[in-house]
């Protein structure tokens, strides 16, 4: 995976978290990405999001509201393979950097728009952030335990899902461009990405709900151990469920452990797990091929032996933030070799020179605040 997109040039314009994440994935697979930042937009200190999602990218300042800025984007669009833009519908067109304009400059261009609600439909201009999309799609409801009050989730699942979807769609469109010589317009929304996450659990809507549709199963639940840590058990295979209850001396509950809402089976496991520390249960039940894991914090997961062995944790050193441990994009993506995230605008003059601008022209644009 490390070099499967080698030679692909990506341009990120006006992107927020999903677009940054998509670019991060593409760079991890060998592409090179240039981010356009607005003059004066530097965050100090740099955010944790940018420290990770901008690794290996280049950055330039550019005033996209000016004719000079638009000209630079047009020159870049004629050279790159992919444009990712994250404006509300209509903004790119007002700036003169929309799909219809840029494809005239590059017939093989893959143009990916990532917005909250999509480029059309009654809600296309609505504002929204991750929490809104999780709430609107039922994702927040689905990830809230039965009887609990919905609250702000700690993980930005809509952002992540939209970034993954964009990375997948872009690579598919690049394949089409390579075979047919024709670019594509991609219209991705955070709302749809969040909703798609429910496909494997809530993807078919029946006219009636099962009587125990929301009830928990004893063999697939979270229990508190003696040391206060929580233990996740997902013994949903009949064999592992049977092994669990037989090991704990209640083989008679094995079938009931997979039935929704069986209070006796749930109560039994709750009492049994509470008798010993979580780490002991992980070793003991794991040896029986039972699906089990401690409930870790994200920080604790950075030390997971399997994630470390698969290269999912990268060490880097940022000139502002110092030594860092960071999540890699995907196993095998090779991010440890990428440069740290750039300071906003670091590569502006280099990119302008690559586009053929003279030193005098670059100095003039900088003096006018356009770059």
Burial string for 135-165 (b: 16+ CB within 10 Å, else e) reads bbbebbeeeeeeeeeeeebeebbbbbbbbbb
* DSSP single-letter state for residue 227: T
Please say whether the beta carbons of 190 and 18 come within 8 A. yes
User: Same domain for 80 and 187?
Assistant: yes
Of 274, 297, 320, which closes a domain? Answer: 297
Number of domains in the chain: 2
Q: Which residue has the tokens 């709302």?
A: 191
Of 255, 277, 297, which closes a domain? Answer: 297
User: Nearest 5°: phi and psi at 302?
Assistant: -65, -20
Residue among 51, 6, 50 at smallest CA distance from 26: 6
Query: In terms of residue numbers, what domain contains 37?
Result: 9-198+309-367
Q: How far is residue 82's CA from residue 34's CA, in Å, rounded to a whole number? A: 10
pLDDT of residue 319: 86
Q: Running along the chain, 371 residues long, what does each successive block of 10 average in pLDDT?
A: 88 96 94 93 78 95 96 98 97 97 98 95 91 92 88 94 97 97 96 93 68 73 95 94 97 96 96 97 95 90 85 84 83 62 93 95 94 93
Alpha carbons within 13 angstroms on the beta-carbon side of residue 286 total 11
pLDDT of residue 214: 59
pLDDT of residue 312: 78
Mention every residue, 6+ apart, whose C-beta is less than 8 A from residue 208.
none
User: Same domain for 329 and 258?
Assistant: no
User: Same domain for 108 and 42?
Assistant: yes
Q: Which H or E run includes 315?
A: strand 313-318
User: Nearest 5°: phi and psi at 294?
Assistant: -70, 150
User: Same domain for 37 and 185?
Assistant: yes
CATH number, domain of 104, equals 3.40.50.10540
User: Same domain for 249 and 100?
Assistant: no
Is 47 contained in some domain? Answer: yes
User: Same domain for 47 and 159?
Assistant: yes
pLDDT of residue 211: 43
pLDDT of residue 212: 46
CATH number, domain of 253, equals 3.30.1540.10
User: Same domain for 251 and 350?
Assistant: no
User: Same domain for 354 and 276?
Assistant: no
pLDDT of residue 176: 97
Q: Which H or E run includes 189?
A: strand 184-189
pLDDT of residue 336: 47
């Amino acid at each position: 995976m490390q070099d499967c997109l080698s030679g692909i040039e990506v341009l990120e314009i006006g992107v927020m978290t999903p677009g940054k994440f998509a670019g991060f994935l593409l760079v991890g697979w060998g592409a090179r990405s240039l981010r356009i930042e607005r003059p004066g937009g530097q965050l100090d200190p740099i955010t944790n999001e940018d420290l990770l999602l901008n690794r290996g990218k280049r950055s330039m300042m550019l005033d996209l509201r000016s004719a000079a800025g638009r000209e630079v984007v047009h020159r870049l669009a004629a050279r790159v393979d992919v444009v990712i833009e994250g404006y509300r519908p209509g903004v790119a067109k007002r700036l003169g950097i929309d799909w219809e304009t840029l494809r005239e400059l590059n017939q093989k261009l893959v143009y990916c728009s990532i917005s909250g609600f999509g480029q059309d439909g009654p809600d296309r201009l609505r504002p929204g952030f991750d929490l809104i999309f999780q709430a609107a799609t039922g994702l927040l409801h689905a990830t809230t335990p039965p009887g609990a009050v919905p609250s702000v989730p700690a993980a930005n699942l809509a952002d992540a899902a939209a970034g993954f979807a964009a990375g997948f769609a872009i690579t598919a469109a690049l394949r089409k461009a390579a075979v047919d010589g024709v670019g594509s317009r991609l219209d991705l929304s955070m709302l749809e990405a969040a909703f798609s996450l429910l496909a494997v659990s809530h993807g078919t809507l029946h006219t009636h709900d099962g009587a125990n549709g929301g009830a928990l199963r004893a063999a697939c639940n979270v229990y508190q151990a003696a040391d206060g840590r929580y233990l996740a058990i997902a013994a949903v295979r009949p064999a592992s469920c049977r092994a669990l209850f037989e090991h704990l001396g209640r083989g008679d509950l094995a079938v009931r452990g997979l039935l929704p809402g069986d209070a006796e089976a749930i109560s039994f496991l709750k009492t049994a797990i509470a008798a010993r520390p979580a780490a002991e249960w992980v070793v003991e039940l794991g040896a029986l091929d039972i699906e089990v894991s401690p409930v870790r914090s994200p920080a604790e997961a950075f030390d997971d032996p399997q994630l470390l062995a698969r290269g999912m944790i990268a060490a880097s050193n940022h000139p502002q933030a110092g030594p860092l441990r960071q999540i890699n994009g995907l196993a095998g993506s090779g991010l440890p070799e990428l440069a740290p995230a750039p300071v906003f605008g670091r590569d502006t003059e280099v990119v302008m020179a690559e586009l053929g601008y003279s030193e005098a022209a670059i100095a003039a644009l900088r003096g006018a605040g356009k770059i």
